[in-house]
Structure 1
Amino acid sequence: MPWLFLLLAVAAFAVALNASSMALAVICLLVALAGTVAWVLGLLAQRVGNQSRDDSMMLDPMELKRLRDEAEARRASGASVAAAAAATAAAATPGDSTQA
C-alpha cells in the first residue's frame, strides 16, 4: 500500500512539471508532497508492525503466576536433592579418611 502513495506522488510531480497553470502546478506539488509523506509513514508503519511481538504469545497474569510457582517448586526440589547428595557425600567422607 505505501508504494501506491509513491506512485501517486510521482504522477502528481510529473503533472506539476507539465502544467501550464500556476494554480494546477501548486496543487500538484502539494499532492506530491503529501504522497511522499504518506509513503514514508507507511514504510515506517510496516517496519514497526513487522518487528512487534505477536499478541497471542503474551501471557496473562494467572499463567505467569503458574509458571513462577512451577519454577519455584523445581528449584526447591533441586535444592533438596542437592542437600541430600551433600549429606550422603559428607557421611561417606569420614569412612574414607579412616581407611587412608
Structure 2
Amino acid sequence: MIEERHTLSAVARDHEILVFGGYNWQIRTILDICEEFQPATNAWVEQPPKPTPRYATGAAHIPGVGGWTNTGDERTPINNAEIFLTTSSSLAHAGS
C-alpha cells in the first residue's frame, strides 16, 4: 500500500482489491484515504478520499443490488438500495 496503516477496511471488487480508512499509528491519525490494488500491474493506485475518516470498520461487496419488483400485474426495475443494519437487525434505505 502507499500509506502505512492498520485496522483498515478491504473488499475485493472485480479483479482489484479496494482498501480504505485505517489508522496511522506514527502520526496518530484516522485516515480517509482509499487505494486500489491492481494485480495486473502489481501496483497500488490512489483513489479519491472517502468523506469520513474511519478505522476498525467492516466492508463488503455484494453484487446483485437492484433487480425487479411487481407493481400490480407489471414488473418494474428497482432503482434503490437497502442496507441491513446488523446492530439493530433492521433495514435502512441506502438511497437511489
**TM-score (structure 2 length as normaliser):** 0.25
Q: Which has the higher helix share?
A: 1
The structure number with the bigger radius of gyration is 1
**TM-score (structure 1 length as normaliser):** 0.24
